[in-house]
Copies of this chain bind each other. A is one copy, B any other.
């Protein structure tokens, strides 16, 4: 079990949680979510205390859940308020309640035995009117570590995502990697001064020549991955004061939430600061990014099968491009051992 517990995880987009019962497994824990009459999100353990029937297969009655099997009823705090056939409610009749924060379009849930020691990390662009966002979630039949490896090393864009976001320069440009050991954040940067413009950016920005392309990754383990992507005509740089009116900025956000030891919820979002009202650009970026994510899903589902079939102690060969991924593995291992 390599899970990192006592952390915030994205359980859902806020728009997924409505006035009905919604089941999702996170780090192997079955959770039922719903929105109360006053609009807050509730997250409870998805098992009735009586005979462990899933509450997500039950009925929402006001702000209470009525178990679909024998009618045990729970309030929003997880306390049982009705037991069939008797007046007395046993003291131990309660299901676990999970801390919830709704922020930046995500529903974050704290998984662990301790109380939250911090707020969830931020991805402010997703709910910022200065940006337009497209997003989705794809189920991945692979352990989350394979997705972390994938996202920390973007040289695979050239081979797996050619024709969408990959060009030869991504694989051939060296990276710089930094780790903030105190905050546990990993930074991987690749700045291409003069690169081909892949269709993903050519069609959305309208640039038709070569570009200056910056990829600045910030990984906040375990769950939040941010890719600050800057595109501009080749040679166009931000001004000395930091202003960047001639650059196009895309904030690519992933939330990496383990479902089980061998499956992952792969949340993805693409926020841009240009063509804000252009539905054609939104549709194109949504379609293209989903295609790219599904290319990763296909490859990682294969790798999960390969990994499970390998004997223990299989030796990988790591090279320079893996520096960020290896740092991430090290930090995750440290966090898991706490």
Q: Total interface residues on A, using CB and 8 Å?
A: 47
A160 vs B299: C-alpha distance when bound (angstroms): 42
Q: Which of B50, B172, B299 contacts A69 (CB 8 A)?
A: B299
Copies in the complex: 3
Do A319 and B90 touch (CB < 8 A)? yes
For the complex, give the distance between the alpha carbons of A299 and B224 in Å: 36
A316 touches B51 (CB 8 A): yes
Q: Is B51 a contact partner of A90 (Cβ separation < 8 A)?
A: no
Whole-angstrom distance between the Cβ of A284 and the nearest chain B Cβ: 25
Docked pose: A266 CA to B235 CA in angstroms: 61
Residues of B with C-beta under 8 A to A327? none
Q: Bound complex: CA of A302 vs CA of B56, how far in Å?
A: 11
Tell yes or no: A193 within 8 A of B by CB. no
A85 to B15 alpha-carbon distance, docked (Å): 41
Using known A-B contacts A47-B306, A68-B299, determine if residue A155 contacts B320 with beta carbons closer than 8 Å: no
Q: Which of A60-85 contact B (CB under 8 A)?
A: 66-71, 83-85
Interface residues of A in 2-18 (CB under 8 A from B): none
Q: Is A134 in the interface zone, CB < 8 Å from B?
A: no
Q: Which of B70, B84, B316, B321 contacts A84 (CB 8 A)?
A: B321
